[in-house]
Homo-oligomer: A and B are copies of this chain.
Amino acid sequence: MEPIIECVPNFSEGRRPAIVQEIVAAIASAGVMLLGAESDPDHNRSVVTFAGSPEAVSEGAFRGIAAAARLIDLDTHAGEHPRLGAADVVPFVPLEQATLEDCATLAQQLGKRIGDELALPVYLYGAAALRPERRELPDVRRGGYEALKDGGIRQPSRQPDFGPARVGPAGAAIIGARRLLVAFNVFLNTDDVEAARQIARAVRASSGGLDAVRALGMLVQGRAQVSMNLLDTNTMPLHRVVEAVREEAARRGLAIERSELIGLMPQQVLLDVASHYLQLEGLHAGRILEWQISQKQRGLPSA
């Protein structure tokens, strides 16, 4: 089987559907499988999920980044979420038959092409990083677009990996390779953003919380939100993170009001959640009726 690579670009536009649709159409025109597209007006941000062969996915990403650079002006963009560019983060993720190294190579090749052909500054992150201090996305993104403007990008530490050391209204593109992650937000029943920040600090790995969890506290839709990335749901499953947030909220007299999934989640995450709460050990994809039928119809072995 041919390798399948996923790409999950985040664009700094979540309020004007026509702009998002134009970016999505540009991506789809490369012949990829479009798996999802969601806009978040509060974060003023959209995430598109697509997959395909390495060549198709790289071309789709290029077209999406080019469209975003043409259509989005960061000088007029506002939103809660930190961002460097119009096409803010463009990760390649290995799916079937693909490796993280394949994705890193793809990201580096695309980064060079974006720098050369679109004249955008490009930073490589994650497994594609060329500098060790750029492996972590939050480090690359620190200070946001504003920190790059007015010559900030000419500081040695902000020198782009590809493209010019000058920034226009499309900002910079952060391109990289990583493993699958789950982006999951929990809303609390309060507008006390400080509570969300405290809970984020309690649960995230960087301040001694749960392994493979990134978390920020912010105010979204008038509600305190704990916004999280789960970097390895095999070792730190979603339900354990949600229950940790629930407990941290409860000890402050607060509760979870609702939660939100950004993009897609691997099927195994869903199985693990059900297995946990139902105390149903050994639940696997082969026990899902529609999945079994779908596998048989594709001529693939059952799980």
Report which A residues bind B (CB closer than 8 A): 4, 6, 33-36, 49, 51, 95, 180, 238-239, 242, 256-261, 264-267, 270-271, 273-274, 277-281, 283, 285-298, 302
Alpha-carbon distance A302/B33, docked complex (angstroms)? 10
Alpha-carbon distance A76/B111, docked complex (angstroms)? 71
Q: Select one of B51, B281, B285, B294 contacting A298, CB under 8 A.
A: B294
27 A-B interface contacts by CB (under 8 A) = A35-B292, A35-B293, A35-B296, A36-B287, A36-B302, A49-B289, A95-B293, A242-B277, A258-B280, A258-B281, A260-B280, A261-B287, A264-B288, A265-B288, A265-B289, A266-B288, A267-B289, A267-B290, A267-B291, A270-B270, A270-B274, A273-B277, A273-B278, A285-B290, A290-B291, A291-B294, A298-B298
Residues of B within 8 A of A302 (CB): 35-36
A33-B297, A36-B287, A95-B293 known; 12 new pairs, CB 8 Å cut-off, are: A6-B289, A33-B292, A35-B302, A36-B302, A238-B278, A256-B279, A258-B281, A267-B288, A267-B290, A270-B271, A274-B274, A294-B294
- Identify the interface centre among A34, A239, A296: most chain B CB within 10 Å of its CB: A296
Alpha-carbon distance A95/B293, docked complex (angstroms)? 10
Q: Once the chains bind, are B288 and A270 in contact (CB under 8 Å)?
A: yes
Residues of B within 8 A of A292 (CB): 33, 35-36, 49, 264
